[in-house]
Structure 1
Amino acid sequence: MFNGGVLPEPGPLRLLAGATLINTFGNGVSMTSIALFLTRSVGLSVRETGLALTVTALASLVASAPMGYVADRRGPRGVLVAGLVVLAVGSVALVTVDGFGSYLLVGVPMAIADAAQRAAKGAVIAGAVPADRRVHTRAYLRSVTNVGIAAGSAVAGVGLAIDTRPAYLTLILLDAVTYAAAALVLRGLAPVPAAPARETGPRLVALRDRPFLAFVVLDGLMATHFGLFEVALPLWIAHRTDAPRWLIAVLFLVNTTAVVLFQVRAARGTESLSGAARASRRAGLALFAGCALFAVSGGTSMPATVALLVLGALAHVTGELWHSAAGWGISFGLAPSDAHGQYQGAYSMGMQLGQMLAPFVVTSLAVGWGAPGWLLLGAVFAVLGTLVPPVVAWARRTRPQVAEPVPA
């Protein structure tokens, strides 16, 4: 898929990478600006903004598996492109929002469209990429995602600094343009055939697959580590250590750079279910190490505090890289060939749930309890990672024996 360089060879991965870079640039713009757009431009209160964003997040979570089913039945490329088009139209409609109710009228359909395009994207990868390259493709796209979000966030910072309604509207419309441009790029993909409907049994088989749902729960709970790094750690550094606050930005830069440079390498060996399960176990141990280092940093003084926080961030991002790769390998490996869309949708439900729970859980434990809370969180991550291999083994026993993909 590569020809001795950073860019992939012409084909599905190059198109997916180009669309991902464009789309995630827009995501970086919107993620950075949406809350302030609603409070500073639309006039919602902080409480109304939090509630509105929670409602849209719940809508996306609930819609994930059903939208994945639609992608399987209608053809994932078409659903992916349609989802991006709806998001583009919705972003344009955001400029007319003037209150809580009108935001939900636009935001909820956008959340459902986002769930559709996320699930469809996984199904496109499953259909357009050989089985032994799917995890590699996901890893490469995650590296691209971090580049896009970082660039979009930087651009959004200019609009936030201007802090006027025209500036916020410009950011919103820029996001709309990126959705439309990504959809246009993805039209160049060859269509992935739709899977025929099953003659018997439930339609949403992913939500009846108990071993897979057990994995989704474990993986989703482990995904709280994203909130740990993004929410709890900055608060910990600012309020419970003597480290300079600028270190927060440095650690975020370290995390982003590590994902861009090492996600593909960390995904090696996770193409098989057994390899992915082992990576999940390693992820839990690495996250435990990171939490332990963060815990100790609260009782030291400079420069030891800085050293512990940097080492903790490196351990955390190592666990993050393995956790992501493991999730891709397992979610692809356990999905029937005719249900990749809904399995990818169900997999994302766990991730979304974990990220919704994270701010309250991690701040209560890590910041509220201090070192004991950090150690408890680390122990939970280690246990979750250790439980994944037996759950994957259980899932494999419920499926027909199929040869696992072997890396080329």
Structure 2
Amino acid sequence: MLPPRGSARTLTWITLVHTMGQGLWMALGAIYAISVLKLSPGQFGIGVGMAAGVALALSTPTGHLADRVGPRAVQIWSFVALGPLTAAMLVIDGFAQYLLVMAAQAVAYSGSRSARMAMVAGLIPPEDRVSVRAYLRATSNVSVSVGAGIAGVLLAVGTTEAYRGAVVFNALTYLITGLLTLLLPSVPPQPARPGPALVVLRDRPFLTFVVLDGLLSMHNLLLDVVLPLWVLSHTDAPRWMIAVILLTNTVSVVLLQVRAARGTEEPTSAARASRTGSWWLGIACVIFSFSEGAPALVACALLVLGALAHVLGEIRQSAGSWGISFGLAPEHAQGQYQGTYAMGSDIGKMIAPAVLTWLVIEHGTAGWLVMAVGFAALGAAMPAVVSWAGRTKKAPSPAHQ
């Protein structure tokens, strides 16, 4: 793994603290809303969906704000705001207040996410950005697992006080993350330039990449949502195989993500990596399809083999995606470009549960095969999109140099 130095080390600590709180709340958020706040599952779903929509809509504007005032300031104030906004969960009374707090959290979250990637672009040399991004992802997998483990202990306790303690813990992680950001060097804000403010919205090759990458990123929901249902309803494998698959993925990402990111610093090579990753994802889908109707032991072996193929595709596709997003973005607009890039995965997360579950659970092997072809086709288009971006990219004016 890449040894973190200087700003990369501080970014690592920020990631560790922030994602530990995320891992905790991912496991407890629904339980808290239903058990403590007394919301219905439908109300919880509405709140989560509304927050996702707000974050999606504001990704590009908050990224532009990070460019104009400096990403460090946006990240600090976003995390500082998330602290009390998270603590507000302790005093919420009713669905309307829940929606209000969730919307405010989404605004701050959108700002922090756009600013974090702008900080990586502003502090790390171009040739090291993908490697640092890969290191941070491997780090976050470890930290999220720790947070989920803490959540498991609190779930075992099962009291309202334990759940409220989780809220306090999560709020503190945001405040600590904001304070840690103060240790990072300042990235100079970008001055206003002639022409439209949100230039990314006129960059058709980049927007095409965002859409394709967002659809390809739907594979991230396979292990969390689709495969558990598949194991339970279409295979004779024991239920504990779901945990084995998730553990295989987590450990593999930690061990292999940095290595998989090598050679993806330039958009052209990154596009090839994304294509290769998509082929591995397609292979994984085919392997998973063979587990239907197989004897239990064979099904277990196929599920593990599919999980390994999936993680090879995941880490290579992710590295390619980062290389393209950093490489196609003008240096003066990294914030708004990275914010827009994040919208792709948001869209993928919104549509993946319904689409992928419908394909696999309703159509079985045929659904897996359709998914395999779809992933491979999306990845195959990446080199052409990057080539298009290279042809349409204008030489920078002196003001942009």
Q: Distance in 2 between matches of 1:87 and 1:327?
A: 28
**Are positions 1:357 and 2:341 aligned together?**
no
Q: Distance in 1 between matches of 2:128 and 2:155?
A: 40
Pairing 1:212-361 to 2, within 5 Å after superposition: 212-361=206-355
The answer for the alignment partner of 2:38 in structure 1 is: 43
SS at match of 1:269: coil
Report the residue type matching 1:247 in the other structure: M
**Are positions 1:148 and 2:143 aligned together?**
yes
**Are positions 1:8 and 2:8 aligned together?**
no
User: Which runs of 5 or more residues in structure 2 are unaligned?
Assistant: 397-401
The answer for the alignment partner of 1:33 in structure 2 is: 28
Shift of residue 114 of structure 1?
A: 0.8
The answer for the alignment partner of 2:87 in structure 1 is: 92
TM-score, normalising length: structure 2: 0.97
Alignment counterpart, residue 57 of structure 2, candidates 46, 57, 62:
62
Shift of residue 6 of structure 1?
A: 6.7
Q: Distance in 2 between matches of 1:105 and 1:381?
A: 37
**Are positions 1:164 and 2:159 aligned together?**
yes
List structure 1 segments (4+ residues) > 6 angstroms apart after TM superposition. none
Q: 2:2·2:132 contact (CA, 8 Å) conserved in 1?
A: no
SS at match of 1:268: coil
Shift of residue 98 of structure 1?
A: 2.0
Q: Distance in 2 between matches of 1:161 and 1:49?
A: 22
Q: Distance in 1 between matches of 2:295 and 2:369?
A: 20
1:149-189, CA deviations, whole angstroms, 9 ceiling, x for partnerless residues?
00001101122222222111100110011111111111011
Q: Distance in 1 between matches of 2:3 and 2:329?
A: 29
Q: Distance in 2 between matches of 1:190 and 1:228?
A: 38
Inter-CA distance 401–197: structure 2 relative to 1 (3 Å threshold)? closer
Count how many residue pairs are aligned between Structure 1 and Structure 2: 396
Shift of residue 7 of structure 1?
A: 4.6
Q: 1:41·1:164 contact (CA, 8 Å) conserved in 2?
A: no
Pairing 1:156-195 to 2, within 5 Å after superposition: 156-195=151-190
Alignment counterpart, residue 101 of structure 2, candidates 100, 106, 112:
106
1:382-407, CA deviations, whole angstroms, 9 ceiling, x for partnerless residues?
000001110111011111369xxxxx
The answer for the alignment partner of 1:376 in structure 2 is: 370
**Are positions 1:20 and 2:7 aligned together?**
no
Shift of residue 97 of structure 1?
A: 1.3
Q: Percent identity?
A: 47
The answer for the alignment partner of 1:405 in structure 2 is: none
Q: 2:2·2:135 contact (CA, 8 Å) conserved in 1?
A: no
TM-score, normalising length: structure 1: 0.95
Pairing 1:108-123 to 2, within 5 Å after superposition: 108-123=103-118
Shift of residue 247 of structure 1?
A: 0.7
Q: 1:292·1:378 contact (CA, 8 Å) conserved in 2?
A: yes
1:364-387, CA deviations, whole angstroms, 9 ceiling, x for partnerless residues?
001111000011011100000001
Report the residue type matching 1:243 in the other structure: A
Inter-CA distance 210–390: structure 2 relative to 1 (3 Å threshold)? same
The answer for the alignment partner of 1:196 in structure 2 is: 191
Q: Distance in 2 between matches of 1:401 and 1:136?
A: 27
Report the residue type matching 2:187 in the other structure: V
Q: Distance in 2 between matches of 1:275 and 1:81?
A: 34
Q: 2:139·2:254 contact (CA, 8 Å) conserved in 1?
A: yes
Q: 2:2·2:131 contact (CA, 8 Å) conserved in 1?
A: no
Alignment counterpart, residue 82 of structure 1, candidates 65, 77, 80:
77
Q: 1:28·1:153 contact (CA, 8 Å) conserved in 2?
A: yes
SS at match of 2:104: helix
1:305-336, CA deviations, whole angstroms, 9 ceiling, x for partnerless residues?
11111110011111110111111101100111
Q: Distance in 2 between matches of 1:299 and 1:374?
A: 14
SS at match of 1:194: coil
Q: 2:261·2:316 contact (CA, 8 Å) conserved in 1?
A: yes
Q: Distance in 1 between matches of 2:218 and 2:11?
A: 27
Q: Distance in 2 between matches of 1:170 and 1:302?
A: 41
Q: Distance in 1 between matches of 2:100 and 2:145?
A: 29
Inter-CA distance 113–326: structure 2 relative to 1 (3 Å threshold)? same
SS at match of 2:269: helix
Q: 2:235·2:296 contact (CA, 8 Å) conserved in 1?
A: no
